[in-house]
Structure 1
Amino acid sequence: MSGQPGSKQHGSAEAGGAPPNILTDPHAGYAHLREQAAACPMRSLDGSLMWVVGRHEGVRSVLTDPRFANDPASVPGGGAPRMQVNAMRKLGLAEDLIPYLADTLLDSDGESHSRLRRLVSPAFTARRMLALRPRIERLTDELLDGLEAHAEDGVADFLSLFAYPLPITVICELVGVPSADRPAWLRWTHALSFDQEHLGETIGPLVDYTHALVDRRRSRPADDLISELIRARDGDRLTDRELVTMVLSLVIAGHDTTANFLANSVWALLTHPDQLALVRAEPELMPQAVQELLRWCGPVLVSRMRYVTEDADLGWAAFQAGDAVMAALSGANQDPREFAEADRLDVTRQHENRGEAHVSFGAGPHYCLGAALARHEAEIALNRLFARRPGLTLAVRPEELNWQPVSGMRKLERLPLRLDGAGGVTA
């Protein structure tokens, strides 16, 4: 990046005192960086220099400008560090397994990205998501019916008993993972999120399983996305590795973020009873409330790394080819330059412009493929949960909840809820 840290356009992460710990208090940490400068220098996990952009204007620029690529190989001359690959090598992941995590739809650009997205996007159209609503409603009711049976002394862990089972079931049914194999998928994907020291021990069996599943679908097609991708393989020359990588990416991304968004949303509403009262009184307000919850407590805090393909002066900052830039979605979503009383949860919040004001699903060509599905799941789940459980409360004080110290994510370890409210904690 042109300019030196501390210059007019760029600032040091240390300016104005030490920032809050981003792992333990990420919203405060990214807000601190946002207010230091339009772009702040930091060191990535592999020790490479990167720039963090946290203001709403800057984040949207980074996410939508074609000069900011997802694939470091898009930078002419090979001048960009391969941060993700380097980090996986440090974790001891075998070279033949790295592409399954580092060469995905999210890591491609240009025609390569368009080709892969074109193949899978028909499964995620708004019409198909609307058609899924009755199935999501049935699953939601089944899971809510089972909360009582799995509760201990009237307390149930919302994350393990509802938030994870709902989206993993929906995305597995859509993609084509048999019901008997879904518990194993949950174990594998949890390990990918929380046990990076044994990454190779997890991703190896997961890749082998998915290759075997694709082979089964090739000989016995079904009404699912895997079969559709196999049928499209000859025309678009989707390789076996690309097909397996696509399945892995969709299932992992299609449930983990949604599960944590559901838990974060329940926590947010239970600790803001005035906002909960509004959505209970007006269930039709829920779609708007979900958008505000995505802004206020979305689980994805940062974008994937972007790499500058050519020198770019954006007015608010100037970057050089090869620079690594990370967009802090959390900072943008609570930027007071864009949102009045940005730190306040307001389920009735209105925006002047049409469309999403938040950037929790990203923006531009890499806008989240499953955004409509996640919104549908959240709207249905939250409305039904609070309608059926009028006495629902937290089973512990909010300060007693443990947040996972996971880089780039905001997720709870557990969310214990008292189902009838007796003896529960009120905000």
Structure 2
Amino acid sequence: MVKGSFSGAVTPMWLITRYEAVKNVLSDTRFVNSPASVPGMDVGNIREQMIAARGIDPELAPYILDSILDVDGADHLRLRRLVSREFTARRVIDLRPRMAELTEAQLDQLGDETELIENFAYPLPITVICELVGVPEEDRPAWRDQGRALMTLTPGAANAPLWGMVELAQDLIERRRAEPGDDLLSALIRAHDEDGDRLSDRELVTMLITLILAGHETTTHLIGNGTLALLSHPDQLDLVKKDPGLWPRAVHELMRWCGPVHGTQMRYAAEDVEIDGQTIKKGEGVIPILVSANYDPRRFDDPLRLDVTREQDSRRETHVGFGHGLHYCLGAALARGEAEIAFNALFRRFPDLALAGEPERQYMPMSWRLAKLPVRMYL
């Protein structure tokens, strides 16, 4: 556990690195996501400082700072209950045939050589989440373009795509209100219109943006990172080729070994808390570092080794790639299901898949992702 700071944040924060400490912080209700939840103190919002340093317009900041990922207590439970039924393991099982159909259709479009992030890893998850939420097919390219443009660190450059996503959300909400469907957005609109206390206007827009962004970003880069990992470890790839029943366990291991999310949202100590013999004072910020927890030799034998058979029970996970506790990733079951289907179909359809050039990393803080993954499909 160390104390440090990020560029753009003037307040130091604690980085929690050991596996047990990370799980303890993520499950301890004395650590809250919002500084406003720290009683009796005016705590500076470190994420607000970081967003300001990126040049985000103040009018847009609430769409980033006040999502289901950021709120605490009763507000978090209220928002989570509105959407959680669509992301249960049972619901994902029901969705698997459609996800398999979409995967095969996407693979049908690949040529002898392709850039896998652009042409498979990205379009598949955003198509799945858009279908689940209720984004019409003709609107999806705009959501995709704005979402990708948002992933920039250039000061001020995120404002235009974020405004674009707010406008897309507002327009889609009005159309779905006029013509409701059997989708998650229509259900959210009904909850808003029948009882505004359950979901405000801004919360509805924020929820839609959050679901679409969070609903594909992690899966996209799990597919990209995982494909590169398997191509770089042919012995492990051979195991899942010979026994496709290993894919659920393999996805757990890939999420541990090369998961795209390296750290969680900021937490704040609501009171003095002792972690590993160190006192985190009330109001201080902490970030649990998922990647270090997933490589902690106290928990994982030979953690640098990729081992697709490491997780013995595919129904549970020992890694913390999707977080832990009350804010455990809402879409974890969906992401795992998509990844299992995507990897299985990709290597079944193209058993001789190989790199066709050097992968290119995309830099984002607290993230591991590829901008490009050139591959050839046949020998």
1:345 maps to 306
**Quick one: which of 294, 309, 312 aligns to 2:273?**
312
Work out the percentage of aligned pairs sharing the same amino acid. Answer: 49
1:230 maps to 189
Instruction: Work out whether residues 351 and 357 of structure 1, in 8 Å CA contact, stay in contact via their aligned partners in 2.
Output: no
Is structure 2 residue 91 aligned with structure 1 residue 128? Answer: yes
**Quick one: which of 365, 370, 377 aligns to 2:326?**
365
Instruction: Work out whether residues 263 and 288 of structure 2, in 8 Å CA contact, stay in contact via their aligned partners in 1.
Output: yes
Q: Give the 3-state SS of the residue equivalent to 1:128 in structure 2.
A: helix
User: How far is the alpha carbon of 1:223 from its aligned partner?
Assistant: 1.1
Counterparts of 1:294-333 in structure 2 under 5 Å? Answer: 294-333=255-294
Consecutive unaligned residues of structure 1, counting only runs of 5 or more, are 1-38, 149-153, 422-427
**Quick one: which of 139, 148, 151 aligns to 2:102?**
139
Aligned residues: 375
User: How far is the alpha carbon of 1:353 from its aligned partner?
Assistant: 11
Counterparts of 1:27-426 in structure 2 under 5 Å? Answer: 39-45=1-7, 46-148=9-111, 154-197=112-155, 198-233=157-192, 234-235=194-195, 236-350=197-311, 355-396=316-357, 400-421=358-379
Cα distance in 2 for residues equivalent to 1:65 and 1:147: 46
With normalisation by structure 1, the TM-score equals 0.85
| Structure number, greater radius of gyration | 1
Cα distance in 2 for residues equivalent to 1:287 and 1:345: 15
Instruction: Work out whether residues 117 and 220 of structure 2, in 8 Å CA contact, stay in contact via their aligned partners in 1.
Output: yes
Instruction: Work out whether residues 79 and 321 of structure 1, in 8 Å CA contact, stay in contact via their aligned partners in 2.
Output: no
Q: CA RMSD in A?
A: 1.5
Q: Give the 3-state SS of the residue equivalent to 2:114 in structure 1.
A: strand
The one-letter amino acid of 1:403's match is R
Cα distance in 1 for residues equivalent to 2:74 and 2:95: 30
Q: Give the 3-state SS of the residue equivalent to 2:287 in structure 1.
A: strand
Q: Give the 3-state SS of the residue equivalent to 1:412 in structure 2.
A: strand
User: How far is the alpha carbon of 1:196 from its aligned partner?
Assistant: 4.2
Cα distance in 2 for residues equivalent to 1:237 and 1:227: 15
The one-letter amino acid of 1:416's match is P
The one-letter amino acid of 2:38's match is V
The one-letter amino acid of 1:47's match is V
Deviation sequence 1:260-303 (CA, Å, 0-9, x none) = 10010100000000000000000001000110111000000001
Cα distance in 1 for residues equivalent to 2:223 and 2:208: 23
User: How far is the alpha carbon of 1:220 from its aligned partner?
Assistant: 1.3
Instruction: Work out whether residues 298 and 360 of structure 1, in 8 Å CA contact, stay in contact via their aligned partners in 2.
Output: yes
**Worse-matched range after superposition: 307-316 or 290-299:** 307-316
User: How far is the alpha carbon of 1:90 from its aligned partner?
Assistant: 2.5
Cα distance in 2 for residues equivalent to 1:126 and 1:79: 40
Deviation sequence 1:129-170 (CA, Å, 0-9, x none) = 11110111011101111102xxxxx32011011001100000
The one-letter amino acid of 1:144's match is L
**Worse-matched range after superposition: 71-80 or 266-275:** 71-80
Cα distance in 1 for residues equivalent to 2:235 and 2:162: 44
User: How far is the alpha carbon of 1:327 from its aligned partner?
Assistant: 0.6
Instruction: Work out whether residues 299 and 411 of structure 1, in 8 Å CA contact, stay in contact via their aligned partners in 2.
Output: yes
Deviation sequence 1:172-226 (CA, Å, 0-9, x none) = 0111111111111111111111254311111112101211111111121111111
Deviation sequence 1:335-376 (CA, Å, 0-9, x none) = 101000011000011459983110001000000000010011
Q: Give the ranges of 4+ consecutive aligned residues of structure 1 lying more than 4 Å apart after TM superposition.
A: 351-354
Cα distance in 2 for residues equivalent to 1:402 and 1:167: 20
Q: Give the 3-state SS of the residue equivalent to 1:304 in structure 2.
A: coil
Is the alpha carbon distance of 1:208 and 1:353 closer, same or farther for their aligned partners in structure 2, counting shifts above 3 Å?
closer
The one-letter amino acid of 1:223's match is D
Cα distance in 1 for residues equivalent to 2:42 and 2:18: 26
Deviation sequence 1:89-124 (CA, Å, 0-9, x none) = 233322221101110001011111000001110111
Cα distance in 2 for residues equivalent to 1:295 and 1:188: 29
User: How far is the alpha carbon of 1:316 from its aligned partner?
Assistant: 3.7
User: How far is the alpha carbon of 1:312 from its aligned partner?
Assistant: 1.0
The one-letter amino acid of 2:62's match is P
User: How far is the alpha carbon of 1:84 from its aligned partner?
Assistant: 1.5
